[in-house]
Structure 1
Amino acid sequence: MQQQVSDHLIGSRVDGRYLVRSRLAGGGMSTVYLATDERLDRDVALKVLHPHLANDQNFLDRLQREARAAASLSHPHVVGVLDQGQDGHIAYIVMEYIKGHTLRDVLNEKKALPPRLAFALIDPVIEGVAAAHAAGLIHRDIKPENVLIAEDGRIKVGDFGLARAVTANTSTGALIGTVAYVAPELVLGKPADARSDIYSTGIMLYEMLTGKQPYAGDVPIQVAYQHVNAEVAPPSLAVPGLAADVDELVQWCTAKEPDDRPVDGSALLSELRHIRTTLSDAQLDLNPPAAAAAVVNAEPRTAVATAIVAPFDDGRTETLERIGRPTDIISGQRNPTTVMPSSLPPAAVYTGELDRQDAPPSKRDLKRIARQEEKDRLRAAATPSRTLREGNPRRRAIIWIVVVIVLAILAGAAGWFFGMGPGSPGTIPDTKNKTVAEAQQLLRTAGFQSEPRDVFDDDVQAGLAVGTEPASGQVVRKFQPVALFVSKGPQLFPLPALAGLTLDQAKNALGNAEMTLGKVTEQYDDTVPAGSIVSQSPAKDTAVRHGTQVSLLVSKGPQPLPVPDVRGMDQQAAVQAISDAGLTAKIAPDPVFDKKVPAGSVVSQSPANGTLTRGSAVTITLSKGPRQVHVPNFIGKQADAARKALESLGFDVKVNNILGGFFGTVRDQNPVDSDAPEGSTVTLTVV
């Protein structure tokens, strides 16, 4: 169950954009949160650095360069770096959020894995590492905790770039890394390269196959000591029946000397896939015995003093401070128990014979033994068969004088080399925003030789220096090479075409292109459906930086047009009014009689009101004028009856009373016995 921790960042917005929702993990260097990028409406992993790192400007500059380098790596098996920045005292990195679990969770649940499953899980890991190596990136901290497995089965390697930045921020006597997987050369203070990642991958593969890490110790420095002095045992010792090719693959990756390992991730990936095709189904589906997960490493543990352990990132990465006076084991004994302090420099470590379980030598062991025998033979051939004790004393005295003189010359040369020559220390000058010639001159004046390397940079003008590696202000030996980073300007990427997409589709396309959504404007459009993109600014294929805001014009669909009222108008005027409103007039085929509307004018329309879209039809019905109706003769009839009869025929009746109309009899009528328009007036004269 995840422990609930009170955190003031939860519920806040970082940089006005990232809404922090919950805490995912924490360590000695940073805390990881689940956050929502409100600008692009997506979940991200927000790594917030601890204040002691966020307040170190040199570290932040380095972290920015490493984050940019990692962000340039786009691969389906590498967790993407999306953003990096600083909001007040908060320094952060934004990464792709992978919802799922880690390889560590799989190993905790299943312990040892069959070779087929182990190869299937580690293949995408090596493919991602190979892509990073091809791009010039080294991970430095490969371990099961950094292998993420999404709910849909995608496998990705995370945390590229941060280990390098943090390592450079520590003292030269400290090693950052997970001690269970650290390469021997890193323990000895030597530079890391792609083969260091290969070693860590080999240790991880050993653990996947056997359910245990190859080395164990009470304190981390004991494990680090074994990485330097011991050889990883074949995994078949813990899992009987494991194919010899699998043993050789693990031991090839975990060779102590980097030159004896695969040169990079691509070489390892090719060999892994070759082995998968050559093994039988029985070899691939070998089920490790239940006891394999409980095998205790048989290597003896030699007690070593002075270890400082601190969590890094996920709580499983240690900082080892190398001892100023390392412990040497007197070689030549099967079970060494005597330890003595050494006066050698901190990087020197004597190797001693360590206990191993007795097992038949593998092909790789036989090759190693043959190489060692060849070295011994050559060393013996180069050793003189006669000693200096033979011959006369005078000759020996001359030889000793020569030896002393040579040693004095060598001591003087060494003193010059490390005191005033190329081995003397110097401070890297600040070259940022200098021309290449100016930057190289500054470095030459300080005693360094530089090698220009072109890099993309959003802040420094193209052609000017971005900085150096090692960074400015660091004190290093002058013989060390210095990389001078020269800006190529910002890296530009073409904008995707968004016209015709829905707004949600456009947001996803911008997110995939690592662009941001700008202003969204809506307007009516007769050709583009409502909710779809009409246009974008900048236009498609425009080369812009990552994070550029793209404004969108979204269609509201065709504009609604009000229907004009043309009833009573003549035909020509009605048609013109409908056309002026953006609509189309349609004449009904059958005109109708109407006693009030003149012939040729509009009696009715459909629709009579409301709105239509441009070009829609309005149907109008024209009048034929009033009907002609025969007027009967009502003279001599009673006026009331005459009135009712005429009104029923559709006439208006006008009554003129003479002498008060006392008798109520129609004396006269106009018109009479003739046809008249419906609705016209018939006049009755009543007496």
Structure 2
Amino acid sequence: MLKPGMFISDRYEIIDSVGSGGMADVYKAKDHRLNRFVAIKVLKPEYSSDKSFVNKFRGEAQSAAGLSHPNIVNVYDVGDDGGLYYIVMELVEGITLKRFIERKGKLDVKEAVGIAIQIAQGLEAAHDNNIIHRDIKPQNIIISRDGKVKVTDFGIAKASNSNTITSNAMGSVHYLSPEQARGGYSDEKSDIYSLGVTLYEMLSGKVPFVGDNNVSVALLHIQGEAAPLRELEEDIPLSVDKIVQKCMQKKPERRYHSASELIVDLKKSLTNPDGDFVQIPAFVTDDSPTINISDDLNKIKNGSYYNNDSDYLSAYSNNNYNNNHNNSEIIDDDEDEDEELDTVDTKMEKIFSVLTIVAIVVLFIAILFVVVRFIFPKGSKKPQGNQTATVSPSLEPTEEPTPSIEAEPTVETYQFPSVIGHKFEDAKAAILAKDPDAVIIPQEEYSSEYEAGYVVRQYPHPNTDFPVGSEVTLYVSVGPENFALPSVYNMSKAEAEQKLRENGLVPKIESMHSNDVEEGKVIRTEPAKDSLVKEGDTITVYVSLGPEIVLKPVPNLIGKTLRDAESLLREAGLRVGRVNKESSENYASGQIIYQDTTAGELVEQGTKINITVSTGPKAKPTQPPKKKYIGTLIIDDINPLEHKELAEAEVILEMEQGGYSTEIYNKRTSASDFPIIVPNIEGESASVGIVKMYIDGEVFRLNEGDQAYEWYVEFETVEE
């Protein structure tokens, strides 16, 4: 095993292990040359010294390297580093279709058809390049986080123009086409059969054929008939059921002839689910007959065709990778095989038939012996009368029958119980009561349906025959998963309720007045946005009733400065309105000489009070030379738009000086325009100018309820 931090070929840094199979391990790595993350498939050390294994491993890269399609995992590079043989592939973050089916039990029809279309599109690209995958199954389909479906693991792919008999080991037996199970010729239609089985499992949650061992499953593919989907699930449309039936026809010529044809019908089924447009051809003469080889039958019997599945990387047997031969070598091999097949004559067939009959007789005697031994165990009293003849001397225990009995051992199984909804300890006890040798592996899983500590899912499924001593996986709830509460601020009541319910939360509506949020919009939530919550939590949503009508007395502003007046009005819950300027012989410059609402009068909270500010006595004819006051404003201590989480807004800067209010900046501004510098501001005097900012008409405050944020401008005196 490679460790994180190790480098391959001074380029690929190992980040983490992804999965492991029979011949190779898969790692997540970083390509430092192209600065991207990749998946690296590394041949296991025990196979690196075997030249044939290395050639087959490289053959996988050659099978897939020429394929570039959105629904196929891309191969980027292949190489070796000091005897370490590797393939560099596209890294797809996601889960296998097998795990996806296990999580959901079965898929929605549209979801399953959509996935099947993407798989078929990947196969279409492979078939167009004369590449047959030969191991299509949910374990070799990855669904990325963005929903893209990708076909991976061309480990036992074969060039379709090689015309070879599939006497080598194939993929998982549950998805094997009949011609592959027989050891016959495989082509594009073999992949279509496997895709049909995969679609069957997506829609029903189970594979069409299940047996005690691989041989029985393979024979069911050859001879058995799968239960129609509509008998298992009534809501499956007629068109989809017939598409699956056509894909899974025993005779290849009765299936879809290409992935392109299959894609057309799958797309039709989405728009016309109940249409009867799928045509399954009547039986015709097989134009690609299966050639039976006795050696192939032996391989089926001893199970050498099949292997176990892995979640991310399939564990292939030694023959699961392409030979690293060119096409001419493959054709030569096929010609040799054809010559050997021609030598098989009827005499050999007769010998094989005789041997088969002998084997059946021996097996019958062995079974009879076991039955007799069970009914009359050793040491018991022999039965009287005619029953004595049943136990003949030839059936007494000897050393000879033993090999015949053990020639085809059976796997001891038990009916697996349903433990979903039970506490983990209770579930464990129930399983061990059935099988004390069971290996129970707990896996944590979030669940809003079951409390923490209870079993959410199980593998195997309830009431299935399961081998004694095998691994059992129990998915144990750790409670609902926490997530950040989504923001519903400023949404309408209906929009907020819908969004919260979509996230599994329970909205509770409360109403309150607000001077800042319009009526019917959400003011805030409790808990606040981005707080950690879990499915089923109740969220209190406060919806605005609009401003609350409150009457406030108007303070006396006459004789006060503009700043004092603003402070008095703010304390009274009122605001400064329009500011006019007038000369006055009685009030100094900057003092208020008029307010449009009489002091003591009750007005609605938030009302604006218009005022007039004195500019001092009128200028006399003999005045000294007029002076000019110039200043510069720099706003670099804070970015108000970022503080308000706004990308851009209408920004107005208003300066107050000596009782006068002057607009010095008004434009559409983005957050990136800060800091803002406003030069050559003309002031009324040498006194400091006070600047306030209005964002989309609202005065800028650091926090709700604070005073308006202010900046200051200092002026220099310039004589005109």
TM-score (norm 1): 0.41
Specify the structure having the higher radius of gyration (Cα).
1
TM-score (norm 2): 0.40
